[in-house]
């Protein structure tokens, strides 16, 4: 079915205005299908003209336009032509729709813990026509009135306040104008906790089998919700406009969360079943704040078209980290941003699919899906930090408020946002915008031992980006200098640099968007000096310099491993501990080191984890992170068998089912998990999480038969959900010799594109990423994937996933070529 193009959207928006949407859903018709009746009232600026309605139904029972019947056969390729329009029009469509299993549209999932079914709507990016007939584009916003019929024991939630009007019958209050992709309905035997803040009714909801976890975590989530509301009300000076504020944790969700006005949906693994580190709680808190920021940037004011996606995501990212660092207990949240989000964004910048923050081409709605990446989020947020440094926070906040008020309940674009900022700041921003927002690429910064700071701009994306930043130096942990300034050329001599400092740190406060090249003396000093540096942000920059140096082939991965084994056991920040370890275990060791030395490297990581585990105070975040890394890397069969049996467990992990599964995953990768063990652990955990972990564990076993089974399940079993496909793909590539895995590189390029026949684009792109043959680091893999990228049968999103993963594999090949 064709994806709506930008030109089509503009033409339709010039012709019609949607005045009201009325949607009636009957969810009480079994597990496969539901009924949808839609009445749309819209006006036409040029009576007599024609347009089309978006509709992707299983069957269409009736269509009427202004009282005249239209034959259902008129719907072709998801479009219903509407001809001879009047000045004021009403179109009514009754259709049968299908529930999805891939996280898009109206997704229905059965909880294996109790057999209960749950439904939620995820209408992003262009899935709304699979739920109701609509004009599916972000600039045709309208108020919605939704009614729902559901099984009598179900609870219904949505964008408007839900009222039970009869047995199994619900009505949602009329909403303010919404874009189609923000509409949601959640229905099922959800359990709830409620609160209120500043006149706003609050609710948090989850599956019935997660009641214990919901009630345990709700107080902290309510606290962050309230703190975020207060922060945004102060910052924006515009009150939250959408009535009740419900947060619903739903199963098998494709994203982290979705900012549906008044009814935010989250992936329910965020309701941690076992022990959770401070970093995990921070990530959830930041996600709560991120989705709330969207109530203003995205929901109140929506981008006109997807090429201004940054007006949604960059702002939510920046505002969320600002809120958590200033209004919650997580005053160091920018540390997590630096080691997690910026590393994600830098990888996106190095990929061939890099694009500008703003104005990135999105010729159709489907192509925009690929730009929900580390550039639109992490780089965009970093660029906004630079804008604050450029014009001042007071002017920035004043410009934001003016923009929100002038575009409330409508749409905005880059030029309008910049105009509001220029008026508030009294400065011209065209040149700044072209350098930072409208040009792709990431600079590299290096501070040498003569005190010269150099900026290297990628030749393929030339730009003159001014960097507001600081540089610092440390010796024996003491900060011996720090200088703040703006680098507005290719190089500058920095006053006040103590060139004798053991460690020189460009961008020490992590304020700008730039990869850091560490000088040789600094890199050599890190094993001794890095543990002594108390400034967590500076350590983030130094760790990041090591990681990006490996990826860019400027740092020998063996040197990086030396730094890791010397420093990591002493790292006090749990986010840095967890994420740096993940970078080594999931990417650097299996990709950048040849198979012959990778096993020794994994042993060194396990030794470092054991050292950290034995040194950490039991029950602390450090102990928990170290235990998890140890469980993932050790080959100590006695320890693994004791832990999986519940013996000698680290403090705080008794009865922690997720930790038990982590141990089982490790045993599977080592070939120590037979069917009897997996059956036993699965029988003890009949939840959705347990089912997924069991699939991943079976796929992780190194035997050829296990790999063949996993690949067959991924590529031929059409009953697998999006989460099951992800679990299988993750497990398959986590173990096995390169010789055994090599055949799946060829099968990847032929089999994965075919999933488009039954898997939605969002889920398909994710599977294409996770199933990529990343362990087969060979030129032949490059040739296979490059050939596939030129084929017409590869969907655009899958092509983007393939190309981005290929760029990572080529980074590993370049590193091996230089350092082996």
- Do residues 197 and 228 touch, judged by C-beta distance below 8 A? no
Would you tell me how many other CB atoms lie within 10 Å of the CB of residue 433? Answer: 23
Q: With left for phi above 0 and alpha for psi between -120 and 50, is residue 764 left, alpha or beta? A: alpha
Q: Measure the CA–CA gap between 732 and 633, rounded to whole angstroms.
A: 17
- Catalytic sites, residue numbers: 291
The C-alpha angle with vertex 286 and arms to 545 and 632, in degrees rounded to 5, equals 60
DSSP state of 186: E
β-strands 16-26, 144-149: how paired?
parallel
Show the tokens assigned to 731. 């497990």
Closest CA to 96 of 75, 117, 115, 68: 75
Q: Measure the CA–CA gap between 281 and 366, rounded to whole angstroms.
A: 33
Q: Is the peptide bond before 125 cis (omega within 30 degrees of 0)?
A: yes
DSSP state of 687: S
The gap from C-alpha 785 to its chain's centroid, in whole angstroms, comes to 25
Reported as type and span, the H/E element at residue 412 is strand 410-412
Q: Measure the CA–CA gap between 242 and 161, rounded to whole angstroms.
A: 10
Would you tell me how many other CB atoms lie within 10 Å of the CB of residue 681? Answer: 21
SS3 152: coil
- Do residues 569 and 791 touch, judged by C-beta distance below 8 A? no
Cα separation values, 43 from 24, 66, 86, 144, 788, Å: 21, 12, 7, 16, 46
The alpha carbon torsion through 756, 758, 759, 765 (nearest 10 deg) reads -10
* Cβ neighbours for 586, distance < 8 A, ≥ 6 positions apart: none
For CA atoms 295, 442, 455, 573, the dihedral sign is positive
Reported as type and span, the H/E element at residue 350 is helix 342-350
- Residue 472: phi, psi to the nearest 5? -145, 165
- Do residues 537 and 545 touch, judged by C-beta distance below 8 A? no
The C-alpha angle with vertex 753 and arms to 749 and 756, in degrees rounded to 5, equals 170
For the packed helices 722-732 and 688-700, what is the interaxial angle rounded to 10 degrees?
Answer: 30
């Amino acid at each position: 079915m064709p994806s709506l193009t930008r030109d089509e959207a503009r033409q339709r928006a010039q012709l019609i205005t949607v005045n009201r949407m009325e949607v009636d859903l009957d969810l009480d018709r079994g597990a496969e299908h539901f009924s949808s009746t839609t009445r749309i009232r819209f006006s036409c600026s040029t009576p007599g003209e024609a347009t089309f309605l978006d509709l992707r139904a299983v069957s269409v029972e009736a269509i009427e336009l202004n009282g005249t019947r239209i034959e259902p056969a008129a719907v072709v390729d998801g479009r219903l032509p509407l001809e001879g329009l009047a000045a004021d029009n009403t179109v009514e469509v009754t259709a049968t729709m299908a529930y999805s299993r891939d996280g898009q549209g109206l997704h229905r999932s059965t909880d294996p813990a109790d057999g209960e079914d749950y439904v939620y709507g995820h209408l992003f990016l262009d899935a709304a026509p699979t739920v109701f007939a609509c004009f599916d584009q972000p600039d045709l916003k309208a108020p919605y009135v939704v009614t729902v019929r559901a099984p009598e024991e179900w609870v219904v939630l949505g964008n408007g306040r839900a009222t039970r009007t009869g047995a199994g019958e619900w009505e949602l209050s009329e909403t303010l104008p919404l874009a189609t992709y923000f509409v949601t309905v959640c229905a099922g035997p959800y359990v709830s906790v409620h609160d209120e803040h500043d006149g706003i009714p609050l609710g948090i909801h989850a599956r019935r089998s997660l009641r214990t976890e919901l009630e345990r975590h709700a107080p902290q989530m309510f606290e962050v919700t309230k703190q975020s509301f207060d922060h945004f009300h102060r910052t924006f000076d515009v009150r939250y406009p959408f009535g009740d504020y419900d947060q619903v944790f739903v199963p098998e969700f494709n994203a982290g969360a979705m900012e549906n006005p008044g009814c935010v949906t989250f992936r329910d693994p965020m309701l941690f079943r076992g022990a959770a580190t401070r970093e995990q709680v921070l990530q959830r808190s930041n996600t709560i704040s991120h989705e709330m920021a969207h109530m203003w940037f995205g929901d109140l004011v929506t981008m006109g078209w997807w090429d201004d996606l940054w007006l949604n995501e960059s702002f939510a990212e920046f505002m969320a980290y600002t809120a958590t660092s200033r209004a919650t207990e997580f005053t160091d949240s920018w540390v997590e941003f630096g080691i997690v989000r910026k590393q994600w964004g830098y990888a996106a910048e190095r990929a061939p699919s890099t694009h500008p923050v703003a104005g990135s081409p999105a010729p159709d709605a489907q192509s925009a899906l690929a730009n929900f990446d580390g550039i639109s989020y992490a780089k965009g947020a970093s660029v906004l930090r630079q804008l604050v440094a450029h014009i001042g926070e007071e002017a920035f906040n004043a410009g934001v408020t003016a923009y929100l008020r002038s575009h409330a309940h409508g749409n905005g674009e880059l030029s309008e946002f910049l105009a509001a900022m220029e008026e508030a700041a009294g400065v011209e921003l065209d040149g700044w915008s072209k350098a930072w927002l409208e040009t792709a690429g990431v600079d590299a910064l290096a501070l040498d031992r003569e005190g010269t700071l150099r900026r290297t701009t990628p030749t393929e994306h030339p730009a003159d980006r001014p960097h507001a930043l600081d540089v610092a130096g440390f010796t024996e942990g003491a900060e011996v200098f720090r200088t703040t300034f703006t680098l507005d050329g290719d190089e500058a001599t920095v006053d006040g640099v103590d060139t004798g400092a053991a460690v020189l740190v460009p961008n020490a406060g992590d304020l700008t968007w730039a990869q850091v090249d560490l000088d040789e003396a600094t890199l050599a000093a890190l094993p001794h000096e890095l543990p002594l540096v108390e400034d967590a942000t500076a350590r983030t920059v130094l760790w990041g310099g090591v990681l990006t140096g490996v990826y860019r082939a400027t740092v020998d991965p063996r040197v990086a491993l030396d730094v890791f084994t010397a420093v990591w056991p002493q790292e006090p920040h749990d986010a840095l501990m967890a994420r740096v370890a993940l970078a080594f275990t999931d990417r650097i060791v299996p990709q950048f080191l040849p198979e012959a030395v990778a096993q020794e490297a994994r042993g060194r990581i396990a030794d470092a984890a054991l050292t950290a585990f034995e040194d950490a105070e039991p029950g602390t975040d450090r102990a928990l992170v170290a235990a998890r890394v140890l469980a993932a890397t050790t080959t100590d069969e006695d320890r693994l068998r004791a832990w999986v049996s519940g013996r000698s467990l680290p403090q705080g992990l008794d009865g922690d089912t997720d930790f038990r599964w982590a141990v089982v995953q490790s045993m599977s990768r080592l070939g120590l998990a037979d069917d009897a063990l997996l059956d036993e652990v699965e029988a003890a955990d009949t939840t959705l999480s347990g089912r997924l972990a069991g699939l991943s564990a079976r796929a992780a076993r190194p035997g050829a038969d296990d790999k063949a089974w996993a690949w067959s399940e991924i590529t031929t079993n059409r009953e697998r959900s999006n989460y099951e496909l992800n679990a299988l793909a993750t497990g398959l590539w986590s173990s096995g010799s390169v010789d055994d895995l090599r055949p799946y590189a060829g099968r990847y390029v032929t089999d994965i594109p075919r999933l488009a026949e039954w898997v939605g684009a969002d889920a398909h792109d994710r599977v294409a990423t996770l199933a990529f043959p990343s362990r087969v680091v060979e030129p032949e893999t490059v040739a296979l994937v490059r050939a596939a990228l030129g084929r017409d049968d590869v969907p655009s999103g899958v092509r983007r996933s393939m190309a981005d993963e290929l760029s990572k594999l080529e980074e590993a090949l370049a590193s091996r070529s230089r350092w082996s």
